[in-house]
Amino acid sequence: MSYTAPIKEMLFVMNELANLDAVSALPGCEDATRDTAEAVLEENAKFVSGVIEPLNHAGDKEPSYWHDGQVTTTKGFKEAFRQFADAGWQGLQHPQEFGGQGLPKLIGTPCVEMLHGANLSFALVALLSDGAIEALLTAGSDEQKATYLEPLVTGKWTGTMNLTEPQAGSDLAAVRTRAEPQGDGTYKVFGTKIFITYGEHDMTENIAHLVLARTPDAPPGVKGISLFIVPKFMVNADGSPGARNDVHCVSIEHKLGIKASPTAVLQFGDHGGAIGTLVGEENRGLEYMFIMMNAARFGVGMQGIGLAENAYQKAVAFARDRVQSRDVAGSSGPVPIIHHPDVRRMLMSMRAQTEAARALAYVGAGFHDIAHHHQDEETRAAHQAVYEYLVPVIKGWSTEMSENVARDGVQVHGGMGFIEETGAAQHYRDAKILTIYEGTTAIQANDLVGRKTLRDGGKVAKHLLAQARATATQLGELEGGDFAADFSSIRARLEQGAADLEAVVDFVLGNAKSDVKAVFAGSVPYLKLAGIVLGGWQMARAALIAQQKLSSGGGDAAFYQAKIATARFFADHFVAQSTAMRAAIVDGHAGVLALPEAMF
C-alpha cells in the first residue's frame, strides 16, 4: 500500500475553511487560484507517490551512513532530490527573483504535508533549506543573497540550522561556539554543533550552514548570539564551490527513527577555523533564527499531519484486508477487521485527529498569507498575531496527535504491526522526534503561555474564542434535519470547550505574576486544550459547510456526510476532554509541584 495524497480533502480545507479565494485576491497572489491549487496539488501528489514514497521504507532499512567524514545517503535519495529540485518543488513558496515560484503558503502547505507524509527522512532536507532561505531573505546582505539564495531555492545546494551544542539544547543561552573576526569581513568559527539534520550528505555539491556563535566581545546569554553562514565549500566568484571549508562531520547519530536523515555532529574550526560571514547584525542571531524556526515549526506541524495521514491510510488498508473473527452483531464467518467496532473507533480517531489538525494548520497558513500580502497594515498585523498564536499549537498539538495516530496505526495491525516489515512500526518510531525537535512540546507551550498569551493579555486567544462561539451559535440556528443529533453534540462540546479554554486563559493571565510555576505546570495541557478546541472549531465549521452543500444538493454527498460524522466523532471523543484538561491545569498544578525533588 503506498501513500495517496488526500487531494479532495486538502482542497476542501483550502477552499472552504482556509479561504483560498481571499488569498488569491491578495496583491502578488493573483496566480493562486483554485485551479492552480488543484493542478499543483495533483502534480505534487503524483511526484511524491511515484518518486519519494518508494524510498521511505528503504531508507529505514538502509539508513544513511558515515565513513571517514563523508555521509552516504540512502540509495536513490540523491537522484530523487535532483528530480525534486528540478521540478521546482524546493522553490514553490520562495521568490521568483531567486528561481522560486512565489506561491502563497496556503498552496505550499499541502505540498509540504504530502512530501513529509510520503517520506519524513527525505523531506527534512527540504525543510531545512526552507529555513535557511527564510533567514537569508530576512537578514542576509545583498551579497549573501546573491551568493546563496538561487542555489538554495533551486535545490543546487541545501541549507542547515546549527543551534544545538552538547550543553545547549532547549537553552540557547548556553551556546559556546565562537566566531573571531578576521578584519576582512569574514569570521573564523570554532565549536561543536550536534543534532544537525543533513549536516553532511552527498546529495548536492555544497551545503550552506547557518550557525549560531558568539563574537569575542558579545554579552553573555541570548543577547550575545550572532548568526553566521558557513559554507561546506567556499564559494568562488563565479558561484561554483571552491576550497573545502573547515567544518567536518565527525559522526552521525544512531536514532530511533527518521534513520535515512543523517543527524550530524559538526566540528567547526578544528583545522584553523571555519570561514563564515555574519548574517544581519551582530548579537541579533537569535532573532533571525526565530524567523527560520517559526517557519520550521509550522513545517514540523505539517510533518505530524503528513505522517498521521500515511499511518491512517496504512491502517485502513490493513483493516480492509485482514479477515479475523465474526462480526459482533453476527455474521456467517470471519469478516475484515474494519467491521469490528474497536478497529473502527481507532480508525475514526486517527482520521478525526488528522483532519482537525490539518484544518487548523491550513487556516493558519491562510492567515500567514494575509499577514504578508494584504494592503492594509492593520489587517496584516491582526492576521500575523493570530498566525503567531497558532504556530506553537500547530507544531505542538499536531505532533503530539501524530504520536497517538502512529501508535493506533500499529495497534490496528495487531501482531503484524510489531514486525518491522509491515511499515506501521516505522511511523511509530519516526513520529517520536516530532514532539522534540524544533523545540519540544514544552518549549512550544512556553511560547504559547509567554509570548502568545501573556504579552497581549490574552487578546488573540479571546478573539479566536469569540469566533469559535459564533460557529457554535450558527450550529444552534441550523435546522439540522438528518444531522440534528450530530449538530447538537458538536455545538454543546464546542461551547463547553470554549468555556474551558477561556477559563484556562484567565487562569494563565491571573496567576502568571503570583504563581508562575503553577501556570507553567499546566502549559502543555493548555497547548493541547487549545489544539482540541480550535481544531474542534474547524471541524464544526467544516460540518456546517458540509450541511450547506448537502442542502443545496451540490457535490459529493458521501464526502460531506463523512465530514459531518468525523466532526461529530471529534467532538465526542476529543473536544469532550476539555473539562478534564481544564481541571488538570486549574486544579492539577498542586499535584505537579507538591513532591520534594528528593522524593522522585
Contact positions with a second copy (CB under 8 A) in 88-147: none
- The answer to the question of residue 356 lying near a second copy (CB under 8 A) is no
CB of 423 to a second copy, least distance (A): 11
Distances (CA, A) of 571 to 472, 534, 540: 12, 11, 8
Shortest Å, Cβ 417 to a second copy: 7
Least distance (Å) from a second copy to the CB of residue 372?
Answer: 31
As measured in angstroms, the least distance from the Cβ of 13 to a second copy is 17
**CA 161/CA 304 separation, integer angstroms:** 20
Among the listed residues 128, 370, 521, 534, the single contact to a second copy using CB under 8 A: 521
Please tell me whether residue 25 adopts helix, strand or coil conformation.
coil
Please state whether 235 falls in left (phi above 0), alpha (psi between -120 and 50) or beta.
Answer: beta
Out of 10, 80, 126, 433, the residue judged to bind a second copy by CB under 8 A: 433
Minimum Å gap between C-beta 238 and a second copy is 39
Residue 323 has what DSSP assignment? B
What residues between 441 and 470 interact with a second copy by CB under 8 A? Answer: 441-442, 445
Of 27, 254, 377, 477, the one binding a second copy (CB under 8 A) is 254
Nearer to a second copy, 359 or 425 (CB): 425
Alpha-carbon distance of 223 to 218, in angstroms, equals 8
3-state SS class at 290: helix
User: Toward a second copy, which CB reaches closer, 180 or 556?
Assistant: 556
Catalytic residue status for 438: yes
> Is residue 523 within the footprint of a second copy (CB under 8 A)?
yes
Q: Is the dihedral of CA 231, 236, 237, 238 positive or negative?
A: negative
Count of residues touching a second copy (by CB under 8 A): 100
Which residues, 6+ apart, have CB-to-CB distance to 381 below 8 Å?
A: 371
CA angle 344, 414, 330 (to 5 degrees): 50
CA distance 144 to 26: 29
- In the chain, the amino acid numbered 366 is G
Residue among 415 and 553 whose Cβ is closer to a second copy: 415
The span of 227-235, 269-277, 280-288, 322-330 binding a second copy (CB under 8 A) equals 322-330
d(CA 447, CA 444): 5
CA distance 59 to 71: 14
Q: Which is nearer to a second copy, 300 or 433 (CB)?
A: 433
Q: Which of 438, 495, 502, 597 is catalytic?
A: 438
C-alpha dihedral, 148 to 153 to 157 to 160, nearest 10°: 80
Residue window 537-576: x/- pattern of binding to a second copy, with contact defined by CB under 8 A: ---------------------xx-xx--xx-xxxxxx--x
Q: Which is nearer to a second copy, 35 or 171 (CB)?
A: 171
Give the three-class secondary structure for 72. strand
Q: How far is the CB of 384 from a second copy (least distance, A)?
A: 27
Per-residue x/- marks for a second copy, 168-187, CB under 8 A? Answer: -xxx-xx-------------
Instruction: Give whichever of 164 and 398 is closer to a second copy, judged by the CB atom.
Output: 164
Per rule CB under 8 A, is residue 79 in the interface with a second copy? no
Q: How near is the Cβ of 307 to a second copy at its closest, in Å?
A: 15
DSSP collapsed to 3 states, 22-49: HHHCCCCCCCCCHHHHHHHHHHHHHHHH
Minimal distance, residue 486 CB to a second copy, in Å = 7
359 counts as binding a second copy under rule CB under 8 A: no
CB count, 10 Å around CB of 61? Answer: 12
Give the x-and-dash track for 387-406 against a second copy (CB under 8 A): ----------------x---
Is residue 600 within the footprint of a second copy (CB under 8 A)?
Answer: yes
Cα 481 versus chain centre, distance? 38
For 319-326, the CB contacts below 8 A with 24+ separation are 319/343, 319/347, 319/412, 322/414, 322/416
Kindly give, in sequence order, each residue whose CB lies less than 8 Å from that of residue 14, ignoring residues fewer than 6 positions away. 20, 37, 106, 107, 110, 362
C-alpha closest to that of 286 among 221, 199, 229: 221
Which positions from 183 through 242 interact with a second copy, judged by CB under 8 A? 195
Contact call for residue 62 and a second copy (CB under 8 A): no
Q: Tell me if 253 contacts a second copy by CB under 8 A.
A: yes
Nearer to a second copy, 117 or 273 (CB): 117
Cα–Cα distance, 392 to 239 (Å, whole number): 38
Cβ of residue 529: shortest distance to a second copy, in angstroms? 12
- Stretch of 82-90, 269-277, 538-546, 585-593 contacting a second copy, by CB under 8 A: 585-593
Radius of gyration of the chain (CA): 24
Task: Output 144 or 444, the one with its CB closest to a second copy.
Answer: 444
Record the cell numbers describing residue 440, joined without a space: 519540544
Q: Site for a second copy (CB under 8 A): which residue of 223, 420, 476, 554?
A: 420
Give the position of cell 457535490.
Answer: 555
Q: Which is nearer to a second copy, 237 or 594 (CB)?
A: 594
- Residue among 115, 123, 121, 124 nearest 50 (CA): 115
Catalytic residues: 438
